[in-house]
């Protein structure tokens, strides 16, 4: 319990750091970015938007930085992330809450599948060293070096087309309205197969590799020799003795690498024009929509923190040593 409380305190601290960072980044922009933006939009910005821009960039002369910082927190607690320029006057929080489920489903499910698949293959590769499984390593090394988005481009190039089963972009067929019915759900699944496969292929290799290395390390422990000596079946030794212990570092690695994975998957969404957070970020970048960018960053960070907390709970359940009271 003490362990969990410590972790929660740490995540709260990290969230505070991320939010503070988010507050200060726009204030680093040299010159007068608001004038540049007004010039860029050529009168399409309303006075209200201009005012909120000045506040965002910290150019509001009437307030001290400290006062602005407090206001920023006040807004956050009301769930107010400002107004988006690109979809003016839609609030950023609304755009994010529309696109978040897409990302959570796509990235969440594929990451979990990738973790279990990779760990399973890694157990095999580590345990049966010297067999065909060694051939997995060069292949996975190559695949893990390929940028996610490029793999997506190749997948679109090779597998989509006018008469292909796979659509090349979007999250569902045009003309359908998002709803839980028999038309929308199959369409959404069909659109998510290719992005999901892309993420799966490029992220699975990392798990294979780390699990293999842990298995190799664990295999030479004394308790494995003892298990063999007791005459236990090979499978039992591999699963209940070696894999069980090799899994622990992989679970905490899972938590730590989520940040990397999420970064990569955002790009897959961009390539496939998948209506998730990453695609919103991309559109925000193109339009220099700072409120939306910052909102997306904040929501990604918070999601990663929550996922980390879940992984910590899993770790707690898997490793009895952390459960010790005191």
Partner 1 sequence: MTIPTSSIEQVIPGQGSMAQPETGKPAKAKRQRFRFVSNKKAATGLVMLAVYVLLAIIGPWVAPYDPDARSNALIQPPSGDHWLGTTHLGQDVFSQLLIGTRSVMLVGFFAGTIATVLSVLIGVTAGYLGGKTDEGLSALSNVFLVIPALPLIIIITSTLQNAEDWLIALVIGLTSWSWNARVLRAQTLSLRRRDFVDASRATGEKTWRVIVFELMPNLTAVIASGFIGTVIFAVLSEITLAFIGVTSSSTWNWGTILFWAQGQQALAQEAWWWFIPAGLAIALLGTALSLINFGIDEFVSPRLRSAGKTKIKTIDGRTVRMRIGFTPVLSNSPEPHTHATPVLPAATPVVKKEVTS
Considering only residues 159 through 188, tell me which ones interact with partner 1, judged by CB under 8 A. Answer: 168
Candidate list 72, 102, 149, 274; residue touching partner 1; CB under 8 A: 149
Q: Number of residues in contact with partner 1, rule: CB under 8 A? A: 94
State which H helix or E strand residue 54 sits in. helix 47-56
- Residue 4 · residue 313 · CB < 8 Å: yes
- How long is the chain? 326
Least Cβ distance, residue 185 to partner 1 (angstroms): 28
Residue 311 Cα distances to 2, 23, 295, angstroms: 16, 28, 24
**Does position 306 bind partner 1 by CB under 8 A?**
no
If one asks whether residue 123 binds partner 1 (CB under 8 A), the answer comes out as no
* Tokens 């709803």 found at: 179
The pair of structure tokens assigned to 284 is 């925000």
Burial group, residue 211, by CB count within 10 angstroms (0-12, 13-18, 19+):
buried
Based on the shown chain and the rule CB under 8 A, indicate whether residue 86 belongs to the binding site for partner 1.
Answer: no
Minimum distance from residue 54 beta carbon to partner 1 (Å): 16
Largest interatomic CA distance in the chain: 80
CB 282 to partner 1: min, Å: 6
- Closest to partner 1 by CB, 193 vs 285, is 285
Nearest to partner 1 of 80, 221 (CB atom): 221
CB 15 within 8 A of CB 302: yes
* Region from 45-53, 91-99, 127-135, 179-187 binding partner 1, contact rule CB under 8 A: 127-135
> What is the nearest approach in angstroms of partner 1 to the Cβ of residue 191?
17
* 14 vs 178, beta carbon nearer partner 1: 14
Q: Which of residues 11-30 bind partner 1 (CB under 8 A)?
A: 11, 13-14, 17-18, 21-22, 25-26, 28-29
CA–CA gap between residue 233 and residue 171 (Å, rounded):
48
CB of 176 to partner 1, least distance (A): 24
Site for partner 1 in 103-122 (CB under 8 A): none
Q: Which one, 17 or 112, has the nearer CB to partner 1?
A: 17
Which residues in 193-252 contact partner 1 (CB under 8 A)? 203, 206-207, 209-210, 213-214, 216-217, 219-220, 222, 224-225, 228-234, 248-250, 252
Interface with partner 1 (CB under 8 A), residue from 137, 159, 185, 314: 137
User: Looking only at residues 243 through 302 of this chain, which bind partner 1 when binding is defined by CB under 8 A?
Assistant: 248-250, 252-254, 256-264, 266-267, 270-271, 281-282, 285-286, 288, 290, 293-294, 296-297, 300-301
Q: Each residue of 28-60: b (16+ CB within 10 Å) or e?
A: eeeeebbeebbeeeeeebeeebeebbbbbbbeb
Q: How many CA atoms lie within 13 A of 140 on its CB side?
A: 21
- The gap from C-alpha 29 to its chain's centroid, in whole angstroms, comes to 27
| CB 183 to partner 1: min, Å | 27
* Rounded Cα distance, 7 and 20, in Å: 20
Q: Which residues contact 71 (CB under 8 A, 6 or more apart)?
A: 55, 63
């Amino acid at each position: 319990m003490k362990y969990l409380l410590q972790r929660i305190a740490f995540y709260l601290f990290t969230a505070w750091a991320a939010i503070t960072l988010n507050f200060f980044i726009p204030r680093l922009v040299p010159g007068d970015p608001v004038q540049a933006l007004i010039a860029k939009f050529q009168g399409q910005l309303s006075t209200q938007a201009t005012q909120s821009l000045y506040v965002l960039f910290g150019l509001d002369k009437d307030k001290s930085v400290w006062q602005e910082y407090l206001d920023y927190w006040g807004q956050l607690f009301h769930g107010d992330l400002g107004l988006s320029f690109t979809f003016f006057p839609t609030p950023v929080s609304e755009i994010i809450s529309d696109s978040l489920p897409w990302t959570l489903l796509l990235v969440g499910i594929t990451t979990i599948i990738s973790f279990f698949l990779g760990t399973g293959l890694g157990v095999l590769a580590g345990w049966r060293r010297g067999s065909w499984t060694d051939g997995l390593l060069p292949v996975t090394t190559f695949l893990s070096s390929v940028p996610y988005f490029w793999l997506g481009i190749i997948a679109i190039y090779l597998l989509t087309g006018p008469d292909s089963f796979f659509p090349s972009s979007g999250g569902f067929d045009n003309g359908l309205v998002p709803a839980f019915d028999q038309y929308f759900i199959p369409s959404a699944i069909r659109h998510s197969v290719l992005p999901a496969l892309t993420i799966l292929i490029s992220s699975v290799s990392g798990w294979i590799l780390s699990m293999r290395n842990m298995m190799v390390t664990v295999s030479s422990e004394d308790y494995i020799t003892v298990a063999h000596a007791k005459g236990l079946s090979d499978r039992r030794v591999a699963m209940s003795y070696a894999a069980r212990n090799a899994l622990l570092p992989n679970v905490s690695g899972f938590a730590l690498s989520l940040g990397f994975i999420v970064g990569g998957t955002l790009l897959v969404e961009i390539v496939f024009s998948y209506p998730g957070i990453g695609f919103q970020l991309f559109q925000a970048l193109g339009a220099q929509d700072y409120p939306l960018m910052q909102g997306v960053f904040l929501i990604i960070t918070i999601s990663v923190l929550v996922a980390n907390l879940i992984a910590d709970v899993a770790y707690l359940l898997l490793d009895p040593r952390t459960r010790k009271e005191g």
